[in-house]
Amino acid sequence: MYSIEDAVLKTLQGDLPLDSRPFNAIAQQLGLQEEEVIRIVNYFLKKGVIRRVGAVLGHRTLGFAANAMILWAVAEEQVQDMGKKLSSFPEVTHCYHRQAPAGWNYNIFTMVHAPSREICLEKIKTISQETGLDDYQVLFSTIEFKKTSISLDL
């Protein structure tokens, strides 16, 4: 049997209702009061169960036809600083450090979206120049097979 918190969390994993008061719509769906749903969401935020409630934009629908994963070769002693610096660029939407296999230098991965490949490459070049990172590879997406948020099996 689900707890009230589980039910709210499960509902939050899907799309929010297109409503001027989405938490009220969720509350009605679950047989709760709007204030109770908001209290539970705030509890989840405070405890770090969720980081935020927000929209996921369909970047292709908005005209961002080019999206690239950039693989950066960063010296291990610079990973923290460069990760923060790369993350500070508004055009960078994702930034991860990953353990590189032996013989592979690329250990920080970022995503950049732009209306065209040319603009995307210009943005990447600017990032390279401003960070001093010149060893990188650019992988453009060709087909999107799946894009979803994490879904917990409650």
pLDDT of residue 63: 62
Q: Do 86 and 108 contact (CB within 8 A), yes or no?
A: yes
Angle, helices 4-12 vs 22-30, to 10°: value is 130
Report in angstroms the alpha-carbon separations of 94 from 12, 151, 154. Answer: 22, 19, 27
CATH level 3 topology of 66-140 = Alpha-Beta Plaits (3.30.70)
Structure tokens at 33: 């009061």
pLDDT at 10 over 60: yes
pTM of the model: 0.69
Q: Please work out, in degrees rounded to the nearest 5, the angle formed at the alpha carbon of residue 49 by the alpha carbons of 111 and 60.
A: 30
Which residue ranges make up each domain of the chain? 4-47, 66-140
Q: In terms of C-beta density within 10 A (0-12 exposed, 13-18 middle, 19 or more buried), how is residue 72 classed?
A: buried
Q: What one-character DSSP code corresponds to residue 101?
A: P
Q: How far apart are CA 105 and CA 55, in angstroms?
A: 34
Summarised one tens digit per residue, pLDDT across range 90-105 is 999 999 999 989 999 9
